[in-house]
């Protein structure tokens, strides 16, 4: 836990870079990959809703100019959720 807090304190200086990176990964890789997997492999409306809610969990702390300690967990939650939905589309 101490390593995480040290990382967050150091990352606060480059908060804009972390926010831009999170948005680029979210908007250019994760969301299109999820939408493509839904289109080609079949997916329900709940997957699209979960995807958009995950996108918003990243967008709100960034637009709210919140510290990195809120951006990183939101991004990791969204990343995990997107990857699990993509894997469920691939495997089921």
pTM of the model: 0.91
Q: Which residues contact 82 (CB under 8 A, 6 or more apart)?
A: 30, 31, 33, 34, 51, 54
Tokens matching residue 1 = 């836990």
Query: pLDDT tens-digit profile of 1-49?
Result: 899 999 999 999 999 999 999 999 999 999 999 999 999 998 889 999 9
Instruction: Give dist(CA 58, CA 74) in Å, integer.
Output: 5
Tokens matching residue 41 = 């492999």
């Amino acid at each position: 836990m101490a390593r995480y807090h040290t990382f967050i304190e150091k990352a606060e200086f480059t908060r804009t870079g972390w926010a831009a990176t999170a948005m680029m990964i979210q908007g250019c890789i994760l969301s299109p990959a999820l939408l493509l997997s839904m289109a080609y492999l079949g997916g329900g409306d709940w997957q699209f809703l979960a995807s958009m809610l995950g996108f918003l969990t990243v967008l709100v702390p960034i637009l709210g100019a919140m510290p990195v300690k809120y951006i990183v967990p939101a991004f990791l939650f969204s990343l995990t959720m997107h990857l699990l939905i993509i894997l469920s589309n691939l495997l089921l």
